[in-house]
Structure 1
Amino acid sequence: MARRRLTGVVAVGLVLASATACSSEAADQWRRGGMPEGITQQSTIIQTAWIGAWIAALATGVVVWGLILWAVAFHRKKKNSPDRLPPQVRYNLPIEILYTVVPVIMVAVFFYFTARDETEIMKVDGNAPVKVAVEGYQWSWRFTTDFQGQKVVTAGVPVDLSKQNVQTPQGPQLVLPENTKIQFDLHSADVIHSFWVPAFLFKEDVFPGNVHNKFEITTLNKTGVFFGRCAELCGVDHSRMLFSVKLVPQAEFDQYIKTQAGSAQ
């Protein structure tokens, strides 16, 4: 009997611990507005803009829903006066001015914050110590990492989706140092692709013949392996165009470049 009670207590404890972990993770997800946890300095800007947009949208929704309910409650046709219409507001100049001015102000505010954040996110000063040439092709990726004049080339083939999991991500792996500015130069060998790492909270289209598509990120102190994929339908094996990004400490990255420079993986 005592053993059964002990087993029951342990089981309840495990359930509560799992529920607490899940609730904590869910709470973090709610705070991020459903976005994954960012691993770049730029991702914090995107996260703030995303949450701000949600707050503004919800505030607008509350006002609209409130006005609808107010109109339904106080401006419906009266039972005792079946032929009487509720008060009309046509040609009411103050209200029409309000209808026009408020949306213009809202759009102007959205435009300002969007333009400000986009300018910061897309800023490229060209002095990043690590530069990565990204080439998309049907249906994989080629990464050429340039660090202090040493280059490492990593290329892949369409992956076997049945083998894709967190422990062994399929496709070419791009190794990058943490807490470092990195410049990406994007190019396509055939059709339009899209370079997307969800943990960057950012993606950029990859165009054939366009060598000017580039962006910069500054990685945070968060080591680990993060999935990436093509986000533009580009052909029959689009879903197999996967890759991964591995963030490592600077010393490990230096060793990686030293041992792999000049070789094609």
Structure 2
Amino acid sequence: MRSNRRIRWAAVPVAVGLVIALAGCSQQQLNGWLPGTEETKDVTNHTSRVVGLWTTSWIVLLAVGLIVWGLIIWAAIVYRRRKGQTGLPVQMRYNMPLEIFYTIVPLILVLGFFAFTAKDQAAIEKPFAQPDTTVHVYGKRWGWDFNYINQNDPSKSVYYQGIQAQEEENANGAIDESQLPTLYLPVDKKVKIELDSRDVDHSFWVIDFLYKKDMLPGKTNYEYFIPQKIGTYQGKCAELCGEYHSLMLFQVKVVSSSDYQAYLDTLTDQGKVGLLGDEYNTNTNQPDNKAPVTASSDDK
């Protein structure tokens, strides 16, 4: 009788897991609750890879969780103190097979997660030998500057200077999207993004691209991707950088190659030719800066 009861209790978590699995998942669940749906999975050439790593990791972790929860519940029920029992149960010093099991299995899981993560990260971070478009992005409190670099003649590069997001009057904190800094990118082109900070730590994050990178003073970071879907995407700083961090927003417009060139021509017509450089940085405490010379009585 007792053995049958144990089997029934042990079967409960297994049955629950099977019911959940057989119930099926919505498309949002299959997408790991990440931004977008099936049709926006390929916003860039990396998004499917990121979604696959994310959802597969959670499936494995959920399976491990079900096993662990099932064993905990089973042990709590089967080995509970029963009426009339006194004293301590039989004590065991060790169980070598069990100890080997719970040492080796987690090690295999960790190594597996590391291997797949390293593989995908290497693919995502692989530089383009010859990017079609290079944009140098400066993060600043609390806006963004964009340099659209002309690889053939840098003197013909154009730039855009952005400001922090502006809140509309009497709109309960709503943002005036028409004044948001906007980064234009051509669809189906290899894009290289160079990232620098003018002051403190920032983070360049385009939400639907599932890709963000820190912007650190004195260090240039890079992103490489191919936008594959025309549209407007929201971006923001993902690193707490000061009082108006929440207003350090921007947009990314992925457009056709002709529209992209038309936008660059518009910047040229506005006289925004050249490159915005480090001369506008407000952080003077950089590793390569020279210390000021101390005045002395020997100075002439």
Report if TM-score (shorter chain) is over 0.5.
yes
1:205 to 201, 214, 220: 214
How many equivalent pairs are there? Answer: 237
Extract unaligned runs of 5+ from structure 1. Answer: 1-25
Q: Higher strand proportion, which one?
A: 1
Could you say which residue in structure 2 is the equivalent of 1:28?
27
Distance in 2 separating the partners of 1:91 and 1:118: 41
RMSD after superposition: 2.3
Would you say 1:83 and 2:126 are equivalent positions?
no
Could you say which residue in structure 1 is the equivalent of 2:196?
187
Distance 1:123 1:105, change over 3 A: same
Q: 2:198 is aligned with what amino acid?
A: A
Greater mean deviation of Cα atoms: 149-158 or 180-189? 149-158
SS at match of 1:246: strand
Shift, 1:250, TM fit:
1.8
Query: Which aligned pairs between 1:34-113 and structure 2 lie closer than 5 A?
Result: 34-37=33-36, 38=41, 39-83=43-87, 85=89, 88-113=91-116
Q: 1:43 is aligned with what amino acid?
A: T
Extract unaligned runs of 5+ from structure 2. Answer: 1-24, 274-300
Cα contact 2:166–2:175 (8 A) shared by 1: no
Could you say which residue in structure 1 is the equivalent of 2:7?
none
Q: Please give the per-residue CA displacement for 1:217-243, whole angstroms capped at 9, x wherever unaligned.
A: 1111x2111111111111111111111
2:160 to 139, 146, 154: 154
TM-score when normalising by structure 2: 0.73
Distance 1:27 1:168, change over 3 A: farther
Q: Please give the per-residue CA displacement for 1:7-29, whole angstroms capped at 9, x wherever unaligned.
A: xxxxxxxxxxxxxxxxxxx9432
Greater mean deviation of Cα atoms: 87-96 or 120-129? 87-96
Distance in 2 separating the partners of 1:167 and 1:137: 19
% identical aligned pairs? 38
Cα contact 1:176–1:245 (8 A) shared by 2: yes
Could you say which residue in structure 1 is the equivalent of 2:286?
none
Cα contact 1:169–1:227 (8 A) shared by 2: no
Task: Tell me which of the two structures has the higher relative contact order, counting C-alpha pairs closer than 8 angstroms and 6 or more residues apart.
Answer: 1
Query: Which aligned pairs between 1:115-154 and structure 2 lie closer than 5 A?
Result: 115-147=118-150, 149=152, 150-154=156-160
Distance 1:167 1:137, change over 3 A: closer
**Which has the greater radius of gyration?**
2
TM-score when normalising by structure 1: 0.82
